[in-house]
C-alpha cells in the first residue's frame, strides 16, 4: 500500500520543492508562499492515509528535475588563448586575434644608443 501516492499531495510537495530550489517568483515573499503551500499540504494530508502521504512526499523530493534551468543568461566560457607568431625567437600567445610584432625594430633604428639597448635586450 505504501507504493501508492496521492496526486494532490505529490503536486503540493513538488511546488514546495520548486519554491525552495528556485526561490519565490518576483514580487512574492518566500515565507508567505511557503505558508500557503504548507497550509494546503496539511489540509490534504488529513484526508489521506499517513503511509500514502509519506510516499507522496518522498516521491516529490526524490531525484533531480529534468530541466534545472532558472532562466537568465548562461555563463560565457573564458576566451581561450591561441598560438601567435614568433618574435625575438619566442613563441607568443594572443587572445583576441591579431599578430605578434617585434616592437624593438624602432629602438634599433633610433640611433647608436638605441642599437646598444637593442643588443642588450636581445643578446645579439
Are residues 44 and 13 part of one domain?
Answer: yes
Are residues 51 and 86 part of one domain?
Answer: no
Q: Which of 47, 35, 65, 36 is nearest to 9 (CA)?
A: 47
pLDDT at 80 over 70: no
Q: Could you report the per-residue pLDDT of 15-65, keeping only the tens digit for each?
A: 888 888 888 777 788 888 888 888 888 888 888 888 888 888 888 877 555
Mean pLDDT value across residues 109-115:
87
Name the more confident of 71 and 106: 106
Q: Is residue 115 situated within a structural domain?
A: yes
CA dist., res. 19 & res. 31, Å (int): 10
**Which range marks the domain in which residue 89 is found?**
82-122
Do 4 and 52 touch, CB atoms closer than 8 A?
yes
Structurally, how many domains does the chain consist of?
2
pTM of the model: 0.45
Across the chain, what does the average pLDDT equal? 75
Q: Provide the pLDDT for residue 1.
A: 44
Amino acid at each position: 500500500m505504501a507504493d501508492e501516492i496521492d496526486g494532490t499531495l505529490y503536486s503540493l510537495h513538488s511546488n514546495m520543492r520548486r519554491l525552495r530550489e528556485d526561490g519565490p517568483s518576483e514580487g512574492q515573499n518566500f515565507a508567505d508562499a511557503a505558508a500557503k503551500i504548507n497550509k494546503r499540504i496539511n489540509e490534504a494530508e488529513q484526508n489521506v492515509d499517513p503511509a500514502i502521504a509519506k510516499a507522496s512526499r518522498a516521491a516529490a523530493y526524490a531525484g533531480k528535475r529534468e530541466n534545472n534551468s532558472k532562466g537568465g543568461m548562461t555563463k560565457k566560457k573564458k576566451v581561450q588563448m591561441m598560438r601567435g607568431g614568433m618574435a625575438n625567437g619566442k613563441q607568443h600567445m594572443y587572445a583576441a586575434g591579431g599578430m605578434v610584432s617585434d616592437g624593438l625594430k624602432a629602438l634599433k633604428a633610433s640611433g647608436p644608443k638605441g642599437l646598444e639597448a637593442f643588443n642588450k635586450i636581445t643578446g645579439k
